[in-house]
A and B are shown apart, each in its own frame.
Chain A
Amino acid sequence: MIRRVPMLLSELPRRVAACVESVLDVRADDGIGRRLRELGFVAGEPVRVVSIGPFGGDPFVIEVGNTRFALRRSEAARIRVRATATAPP
């Protein structure tokens, strides 16, 4: 059972459908936070973890909308998401 509470994208299990809640800036004028929003990580966008890197569980392949991005753990950990479904395909 997947918790339907907000969690960080870096904690989301693979292939579980979720929705972006917000992107957290880790400092004032956080360039990475801003870029993530520009890339489409904005509230309400569907998001899921497609794949996790073979070495040390980093980086992640994230699908947001219909685009895929490779994000490092520290980048994925800026994104708060909420799982929307419980059954990965």
Chain B
Amino acid sequence: MNAASLDIPLRIALVGNPNCGKTALFNLLTGSRQKVANYAGVTVERKEGRLVTPGGRHVQVLDLPGAYSLVATSPDEAITRDLCLGNFAGEALPDLMVCVVDATNLRLHLRFVLELKRLGRPMVVALNMVDVARRRGIVIDRAALESELGVPLIETVAVRRHGAADLLARLDAVAPSDAGAVVATEAGAASDESLHAEVRALMQAAVSMPRGTHAMDDRIDRVVLHPVLGLAILSALMFLMFQAVFAWAAPRMVGIEAGIGALGSLFSTWLPEGILRSLLVDGLVAGVGSVLVFLPQILILFLFILALEESGYLPRAAFLLDRLMVGAGMSGRSFIPLLSSFACAIPGIMAARTISDPRDRLVTILVAPLMTCSARLPVYALLIGAFIPQRTVWGVFNLQGVTLFALYVAGILSALGVAYAMKWLRRDRTREHALMMELPSYRVPHPRDLAIGLYERGMIFLKRVGGVILVMTVLLWALSSFPAPPEGFAGAPIHYSLAGRIGQFLQPLFAPIGFNWEISIALVPGMAAREVVVGALATVYALSATDADAALQLAPVIAAQWSMATAFSLLAWFVFAPQCLSTLATIKRETNSWRVTLGATAYLFALAYLASFITYRIALALA
């Protein structure tokens, strides 16, 4: 091999069925040298990494989405098909396809190998998880399978260090002339019958395997899929997840807030009073803070979701709840993303990636913001504390608690209603919604795969979403600060600013739902995040309070100045209104569509207005 051939990187693509351990192998091969983006024009994740072989060869590795067949039934499979056929604009054909198969599930996975082999492209087969296969008493005659298959067959163990050593050695041996060479093509597409007959012949010739699924899987499934026990286990797991979010994330969130606050006061002491200080403290630092404060919740939720996915439990949970979710126009896979949205809609919307059906995924993303996220709690707490008396109702319940519970229920019911309405509006009788979901073997998640998955999610949030939030927060700061009020202006400076003028301009629009001009103004900077409204109201009422006790000082003021109807109307507004740029930025990033993002914004504002209007009018009539 000459020096020139070492300079040109070899481009390989990992192809294989879902659950074949392809991504674990990708993580082993490339480690932290990965780049995650989307394929041009679609929301399918594109994962590329680099590696250097022991022989010094540079290799670019593309981890293609898992597929059962080249006859695609999902956007993911269409990408894999187009890339393998060289039909994807902007993506070159790989020099070598590494077809990954799970040694414990050869009967299913070999079919796709045969289909890929018929493309006549250079390929090798990575026989993955050979260690697990051996433990389960599956005996594979590697040499026989290789000669019957007519494709180089390399054993790999993705979860072991050096588990891909043979594959790396093989990459060193691939002559540059091989790359791009087309081996003999077997003419014509084969029928499924003949592919399966071939698989059967291969299995007969080279594999001896105990009948049925793994005994351990069977034992676990007897409990986990049980109608009563299974649901009990699912509830316990979800309870644990929420406990973890609030027990582990909350102290860290308080820590981050304190850190941001300290940074803000540091700038305040260093810098003279003025625009620069205001920009740094109220704009940039506050903006960075509003991004960072979500991070602990997002990471903990994703740790749970990744562990559930990697262990093989997630499809089982989807199975248990599928019928319920189908009734509402979604699928069993929608459950975990929606549940996560009770902590924060951002990880919920990002977790919707685990939903394979594009329409079910879209509906889930669109209703996720209706789940009562933790950022609504400060607003609810302020309004309930100021307007709902501490009274015992029906003997045992606290009226304030009942109100909060009713707000949660309102969110859930409206999400079900919206999902159902979308199902009805977009009903399409020609296309049946398929489930056909594999329940893979249980396995213990590998820490490396969890760490890489978590790192990726964290970076997507910080880079893609954080950037937008930061820009918008600074913009909202500018709106709230400029122009500065003239000398001797009576009232809060925000009143004179652009935000104040927008609020006053919007006031006639909000009058029918009972919002006064103070609320209308506070809603403008409150677009950054729901809890910001509390601080903004304090600013509008010219209370010289820090965030911590803004609510305490604010409660008696609004209790004295607002009518009960206005308070209820504002509560109804916050059940629906998308007063959270982070969520909207996440929807844009995850759907890659301005139309969907603007549509979601519009429908949520419309619902908020409608709900507030009805609430306000009923409350006025009853008063």
Contacts and interface: CB of A to CB of B under 8 A. Distances in A.
Nearest to B315: A70
A55 to B, nearest CB: 4
A67 B231 contact: no
Interface centre among A37, A51, A58 (most CB of B within 10 A): A51
A68 B217 CA distance: 10
B71 A34 contact: yes
A75 B436 contact: yes
Contact of B322 (A42, A50, A53, A67): A53
B428 interface: no
Interface string A59-85: 101010111111110110000000000
A68 B111 contact: no
A39 interface: yes
Contacts of B471: none
Given A35-B68, A42-B196, A65-B107, A74 B439 contact: no
A74 B436 CA distance: 11
A20 to B, nearest CB: 11
Given A50-B221, A61-B225, A66-B213, A32 B323 contact: no
A88 interface: no
A51 B69 CA distance: 26
B488 interface: no
B233 interface: no
B221 to A, nearest CB: 6
Contacts of A72: 322, 326, 434-435
Contact of A38 (B69, B214, B228, B321): B69
B434 A32 contact: yes
B5 interface: no
B450 interface: no
B209 A67 contact: no
Q: Please classify the interface of chain A as helix (H, G, I), strand (E, B), loop, or mixed, using the class held by over half of its residues.
A: mixed
Nearest to A69: B438
Contacts of B107: 40, 65-67
Interface in A26-59: 31-32, 34-40, 42-43, 46, 50-56, 58-59
A71 B436 contact: yes
A10 to B, nearest CB: 13
Nearest to A74: B432
Contacts of B69: 35, 38
A55 B322 CA distance: 8
B71 A70 contact: no
Interface centre among A40, A46, A61, A66 (most CB of B within 10 A): A66
A68 B435 contact: no
B105 A36 contact: no
Bin chain B's interface residue count: 35 or more
A68 B228 CA distance: 20
Contacts of B221: 50-51, 61, 68
Contact of B318 (A39, A58, A70): A70
Bin chain A's interface residue count: 20 to 34
Contact of A69 (B209, B214, B225, B437): B437
Interface string B88-129: 000000000000000011011001000000000000000000
A58 B320 CA distance: 9
B71 A38 contact: yes
A66 B108 CA distance: 8
B73 interface: yes
A68 B427 CA distance: 30
Nearest to B69: A38
B435 A75 contact: yes
Contacts of A58: 322-323
B105 A70 contact: no
B192 interface: yes
A81 B218 CA distance: 22
A25 B452 CA distance: 42
B212 A59 contact: no
A20 B108 CA distance: 15
B72 to A, nearest CB: 10
B435 A35 contact: no
B487 interface: no
Contact of B320 (A32, A53, A69): A53
Nearest to A65: B107
Contacts of B321: 55
B212 to A, nearest CB: 6
Given A31-B73, A53-B319, A70-B315, A38 B437 contact: no
30 contacts: A31-B434, A32-B434, A34-B192, A38-B71, A39-B108, A39-B436, A39-B438, A40-B111, A42-B192, A43-B193, A46-B211, A50-B218, A51-B225, A51-B319, A54-B231, A55-B324, A56-B323, A59-B323, A66-B104, A66-B212, A66-B213, A67-B105, A68-B213, A68-B221, A70-B322, A70-B437, A71-B436, A72-B322, A72-B434, A75-B434
Given A31-B434, A67-B105, A67-B213, 17 more contacts: A34-B192, A35-B73, A36-B436, A38-B69, A39-B436, A40-B196, A42-B196, A46-B211, A51-B319, A53-B322, A53-B323, A55-B321, A55-B323, A61-B221, A66-B104, A71-B435, A75-B435
9 shortest interchain CB distances as A-B pairs: A54-B227, A51-B225, A55-B323, A68-B439, A70-B319, A37-B192, A70-B437, A72-B435, A38-B69
